[in-house]
Structures are given as structure tokens and as C-alpha cells.
Structure 1
Amino acid sequence: MEQHPATPSSADQPIEVQVHASPKFWPFVLTFLVIGALVGLIVGLVGEPSEEYSRASASGFFAMFCGGLGVGIGAVVYVIVDRVTMRKSSNHLAVPLAEDTDSSGPQG
């Protein structure tokens, strides 16, 4: 069996790990989706009415289009924030805990 190079040969030796706070992806994307959809709705309702389309269909179109743009912008903002927080990472020593010899769980 081959041992991973990052793991020490002894279970008592500390391991050096890199720690950084990473943002969550879905809150970024969903927030920008909602903001984009709201902007699209406002554009559709405030704009001049068309003879070919109703206000509701124009508002729905703009909400979908701007929501899609919001998803793209949110993903780009997430990548930028993730790269900035990765630069602020730090190295720490992780000390392995002693493993429990009884793995069958609590007995009662």
C-alpha cells in the first residue's frame, strides 16, 4: 500500500495545512439572479409600452434576460472574491487526534 506524500509516516506528527475562508457559490449566484430579475421587471414595467407585446410579456422577457446576466455576473464576482480570499490564506499545523480503539459505538 502506498502512503500519500502529504501524510506523515507517524500518526503523532503534525501536518502542515493551508487554511483560507472561501465564500459559498450559490448565495452569490442566487443573489445576482434575483437582483437581475428585479432590474428586468423594472425595465419592462417602466419602459414605453409596445403595440406588439403586452407589459407582462415584456417584463417577463426582460426579467429572464437580466436574470441570466445576473447569474453570469455573480459567477464572475464569486471567482474574484475567491481569488482575493485565497491570497489571504495562512499555513497552520494540524495535530492528529488519538483514534478511538472501540469503533462499534456507544454501548448501553
Structure 2
Amino acid sequence: MPEHSQDRVETLRVRRAPKISVFLIAGAALGLLVAMILTFAFDGTSQVSPNTGVEYSQTQVFGFLALICAPVGIVLGALVALLLDRRSRRHTHEVSVDHASVQVDPQSGADEDRR
């Protein structure tokens, strides 16, 4: 079977980059944890709101705090990921890669299929 092969050596840069999605999820989880701690640390649910005259339950307070703390946590996680990504650009390594490609002649493959 006739083949045509080519070999070439290339130099590539390799670096370890953080997965940004992991940092975003961790930031959101940290924000929810902070919201939960703030909900149970300060017992403001037994008081009536002075502006609206409504009394909020702990679940509602947690929801309000989660709406604030989760996006803040996501932003902080993104900032940490970007800082680590920038730091990883300084620590690149160059590697030599042997790139081989083999091409099979289509007519010779068709001949073997007929046999």
C-alpha cells in the first residue's frame, strides 16, 4: 500500500491555565455561604421594616442577601482566575513536538477492497 509521510518538528509553548468556570462556581458558592452566615448571624427578622411595615422571614432575608452576595462572589472568583491566568503566562515552557502525517493513496485502498 503506497503511503506518503511527512515529519516535521515544531516548537510549542505550554502553560498551565486555570479553569475559569471552576473559579466562578466556587465564588458563587462562597457568596451563598456568606449570605447564609449573615442571615443567621444577625437576627433582624423579628423586627418590622421601618419603611414598608413588613416583617421578613429568614428565608426571604437569605434570598435578598444571596442576590447580592452570589454575584459579588462570582466577580471575586473571576478576578482571582484572571490573576492566576496572568501569572501562568509568565511560566511558559517551550516543547519540541514531532508532527507526523501519513496520507494513504485512495486508489490503492480501492484496489484492496475489491480483492
Q: TM-score range by the shorter chain?
A: 0.7 to 0.9
Identity of aligned residues (%): 24
In 2: Cα distance, 1:48 partner to 1:85 partner = 44
Residue equivalent to 2:91: 88
1:45 to 21, 24, 40: 40
Question: Mind listing any 5+ residue stretches in structure 1 that lack a counterpart?
Answer: 1-10
Alpha-carbon distance, 1:44 to partner? 1.5
* Structure showing the higher helix proportion among its residues: 2
Structure that is richer in strand per residue: 2
Whether 1:26 and 2:21 are equivalent positions in the alignment is yes
Q: TM-score, normalised by structure 2?
A: 0.72
Q: Residue type of the partner of 1:78?
A: A
For 1:31 and 1:74, how far apart are their aligned partners in 2?
7
Give 1:24 shift: 0.8
Residue deviations 1:10-53, cap 9 Å, x none?
x4221111100111111111011001111111101221313132
- Structure with the larger RCO, 1 or 2 (CA within 8 Å, 6+ apart): 2
Larger Rg: 2
CA distance in 2, matches of 1:102, 1:28: 49
- Inter-partner Cα distance in structure 1 for 2:62 and 2:105: 63
Q: In the alignment, what sits opposite 2:3?
A: none
What is the aligned length? 95
Q: 5+ residue gaps in structure 2?
A: 1-5, 50-55
